[in-house]
Structure 1
């Protein structure tokens, strides 16, 4: 958490704002307290983007998604402003645990049992999301928080309805987090399906077990080129043999070659064994680390590579996409 600046709001709706949790290309997330002293995460649109209809449309799409989907592994919507408010806001349950990405970075990779349990619970979360006829489109180690009750999926800012093309693929919106983006998100973002979320779950499981993503290139354009190339297989180095067949299928280039969410869930259940409840408790207790709330402890942002011309010609589709992603993620430094 970072301390508030003079330009930050001290009150959003009925919520007293106490600190800044994070920010990205389009919005900010604050830590706040309700009138009952309940901690919440409050998301708002950046002031300079409030007048842009496509940004507001994406914001309210996230609100609609949160209203539509419920589940024990999904961060709950607690309150929200009216859509007519000049500066709309969304309040979501505040989860003190680290993200899977932070957990792996600070404590190392998950054990086979814990990774299988993580896969099982995230497959359940995706089943709840897809049952609401939604696609998450941005499932990553940075968007899974390890709470006292186990993993919680957050950030529905890119959620799309599964029954048609998304209107969020224009020039003003990024398409996902590059390390976990599926090939179709790079090549044809208007033609994605639930299989795209399966790919992202596979990338998340790979990271939790090995500490690396399917493609390790630090330059975004190079990574996107490999993701979109059917002849560039993902890097599965370090992946335990028990997970290799599943993750390889989840990261298949063609959507039709990937397992379904129920198949992923069944595979993970077999890996966990008969003591599912005990495994879930072990995952939650063994990997819950309460987030440091001292602003002085906030880590500095990681540098983002700038040299794109070496891997993609300036003006090309990949170069333009990578440049937009680089600018937006320079603020969040999530990968």
Structure 2
């Protein structure tokens, strides 16, 4: 609802003339504006002045802008412009001139038949686009579903966050969202990972409200509503047929029992063949969203992922029906056979290419562990020590200890591999995985026994073990731990050792760490060495044909990478290969139609590989920077640094998120030049 500007509101912002207020939230205000007298109306979200100098809020806004650009405008309000570095940062989005879902229901009553089905498809389409860009909305509710020319559009990514299950983005005493539409796991935000499944729960609550005029867990107070969400089944009286079944499935208490957004959309479109017409514009948007998502739905001719076996039979049947229907209609992604994405690389330099890890990419960690990088040297309070000698050397005089590694959480099917040595018969090497809060799984690698155990807050349970598995002390062994469909399989030197069923549904994801401990209860000096560690996703197929990242580990390469850490004293640098593309190339790659409402109009864009690699540097790498004078110290192809810089200065400038043109020879960094993008 529009309201007049207040006395303290600016008359203009970034060349846009502010006309009225549209709303206000905890982080900023939203204004109706236009750039020219005859230009289209837009909505501008501006951080409140009192927060503009708070680095936490500015960082959150910067993250929002980066992710919002990547969301295709399929049943979402398109991003048009942004300036995160402005004195009062702002984001410009399409103005949707229509009532919200809650206004429509309040005025006209519950929706029914094709109109209700259209809202269900429209919101699922928006979530497919949002999740496909790596974003979680986190505040889906009827007020954020607007009607434009009869087609629903989801708005307000104000608390959207990157799709990384470790990132909570709130302090322990904060809770973001609207209680009636919050998934059960949201009420335990300090201990449970928030995933896209939370948005699916909100979809179920929104559609239940649209079809019945009430929320499915309605109570007299927010506290009572939260209690019902946590303990009671939803009240879906008034919903009928297969849509009611999908809503019930979306409102499952456990996140893993809910369908993914693209699965949900497939099943809704399959239902639509029964006569629930949704209209051509909405169907075209739904089909386009299915082709756009790279985190869950993109990737050549890869079949649509099947739901987990533990889901109800009706989901499996519905998904199968949807798959047949969609395949027959040609809705699977079709990617160009060849795309030129290495525009920043001189063509005289041969490239070793690394295929996209999968449709659900990363995180993917590679570290030889021969120097500080993604793992660091540490000493604990009991004398345990993590250092680097022929690998990550771990010793402890008494209690078991771990050497913390990457902060990322690893979910789904994955492989953890490393070369591991225990120093004596009374030592055990440890691989901790899916570690979250006070719970985790452990792989114990001891000379006399190999086992997998689950450690909870109250007790520890052995899930599987194997005696005399050939893990000889003093010898280096290749250990591979594969996690697939909630089964952990262990091999040592290529020989299968054991399989264990993972039993804790609250641990679908978590951190990975290496450690060491005594083989028995006696106090001994235990030691182990880990080298050549790799943690990577598996079983997700490959990315679009022609889409490849430079493999900086092999051959002679020159490419653009994101630097996650540069340590001159250790002669090491942690990098993530990225694709550096013009807006036109980006939209050609991801099959977006050029317009002012998507990234096609941007000069340059990056696409992350999610593969983070620790590399050694040469003794005297050639280092260049733009300094503070890009006009003098920047060259082609974009503005790559040409002025020499000292290692410590470059490390400070790059921090943990700088872009550089990286030169390597056989996996050794021989040169870095920072990249300036005006």
Change (3 A) 1:172 1:96: farther
Query: Paired residue for 1:49, among 44, 48, 51?
Result: 51
**Paired residues of 2:122 and 2:282 also in contact (CA < 8 A):** no
Q: How does 1:58-207 map to 2 (within 5 A)?
A: 58-81=60-83, 83-148=84-149, 150-170=151-171, 174-188=175-189, 191-207=193-209
- More displaced stretch, 32-41 vs 246-255: 32-41
- SS of corresponding position for 1:8: coil
- SS of corresponding position for 2:239: coil
- SS of corresponding position for 1:152: strand
Q: Using the TM superposition, give the Cα deviation of residue 282 of structure 1 relative to its aligned residue in structure 2, in angstroms.
A: 9.6
Separation (CA, whole Å) in 2 of partners of 1:64 and 1:224? 32
Q: How does 1:287-326 map to 2 (within 5 A)?
A: none
Equivalent residue number for residue 318 of structure 2 = none
Q: Using the TM superposition, give the Cα deviation of residue 173 of structure 1 relative to its aligned residue in structure 2, in angstroms.
A: 5.2
**Paired residues of 1:109 and 1:208 also in contact (CA < 8 A):** yes
Aligned length: 280
Equivalent residue number for residue 261 of structure 1 = 261
- More displaced stretch, 99-108 vs 233-242: 233-242
- SS of corresponding position for 1:191: coil
Q: Using the TM superposition, give the Cα deviation of residue 172 of structure 1 relative to its aligned residue in structure 2, in angstroms.
A: 7.6
Separation (CA, whole Å) in 2 of partners of 1:80 and 1:232? 43
- More displaced stretch, 113-122 vs 71-80: 113-122
Separation (CA, whole Å) in 2 of partners of 1:144 and 1:88? 25
**Paired residues of 2:217 and 2:235 also in contact (CA < 8 A):** yes
Query: Of Structure 1 and Structure 2, which has the larger fraction of its residues in strand?
Result: 2
Separation (CA, whole Å) in 2 of partners of 1:173 and 1:8? 28
Q: TM-score by structure 2 length?
A: 0.39
Query: Paired residue for 2:227, among 222, 225, 228?
Result: 225
Q: Encode CA deviations 1:212-249: one digit per residue, 9 max, x unaligned.
A: 1122124222222322x2x3222222222442221111
Equivalent residue number for residue 19 of structure 1 = 20
Q: Using the TM superposition, give the Cα deviation of residue 153 of structure 1 relative to its aligned residue in structure 2, in angstroms.
A: 1.1
Q: Which has the larger radius of gyration?
A: 2
Change (3 A) 1:22 1:141: same
Query: Of Structure 1 and Structure 2, which has the larger fraction of its residues in helix?
Result: 1
Q: Encode CA deviations 1:38-58: one digit per residue, 9 max, x unaligned.
A: 201111112222232222222
Flag as ranges the 4+ runs of structure 1 deviating above 6 A: none
- More displaced stretch, 159-168 vs 177-186: 159-168
Q: Using the TM superposition, give the Cα deviation of residue 162 of structure 1 relative to its aligned residue in structure 2, in angstroms.
A: 1.7
Q: Encode CA deviations 1:168-200: one digit per residue, 9 max, x unaligned.
A: 121585421211111111123650222111111
* Structure 2 unaligned regions, length at least 5: 284-678
Separation (CA, whole Å) in 2 of partners of 1:220 and 1:174? 13
- SS of corresponding position for 1:279: coil
- SS of corresponding position for 1:157: coil
Separation (CA, whole Å) in 2 of partners of 1:187 and 1:171? 10
Separation (CA, whole Å) in 1 of partners of 2:113 and 2:197? 24
Change (3 A) 1:62 1:2: same
Q: Encode CA deviations 1:66-117: one digit per residue, 9 max, x unaligned.
A: 1111132111111112x32211111111111111111111111111222222
**Paired residues of 1:16 and 1:34 also in contact (CA < 8 A):** yes
Equivalent residue number for residue 548 of structure 2 = none
Q: Using the TM superposition, give the Cα deviation of residue 140 of structure 1 relative to its aligned residue in structure 2, in angstroms.
A: 1.4
Q: Using the TM superposition, give the Cα deviation of residue 166 of structure 1 relative to its aligned residue in structure 2, in angstroms.
A: 1.9
- SS of corresponding position for 2:57: helix
Change (3 A) 1:255 1:118: same
Relative CO higher for 1 or 2, CA cutoff 8 Å, sep ≥ 6?
A: 1
**Paired residues of 2:80 and 2:92 also in contact (CA < 8 A):** yes
Separation (CA, whole Å) in 2 of partners of 1:158 and 1:42? 16
Change (3 A) 1:6 1:233: same
Separation (CA, whole Å) in 2 of partners of 1:270 and 1:113? 14
Q: TM-score by structure 1 length?
A: 0.77
**Paired residues of 1:117 and 1:272 also in contact (CA < 8 A):** no
**Paired residues of 2:186 and 2:198 also in contact (CA < 8 A):** yes
Equivalent residue number for residue 556 of structure 2 = none
Separation (CA, whole Å) in 1 of partners of 2:196 and 2:143? 20
Q: Encode CA deviations 1:304-325: one digit per residue, 9 max, x unaligned.
A: xxxxxxxxxxxxxxxxxxxxxx
Q: Encode CA deviations 1:254-284: one digit per residue, 9 max, x unaligned.
A: 11222232332233223322667x5236989
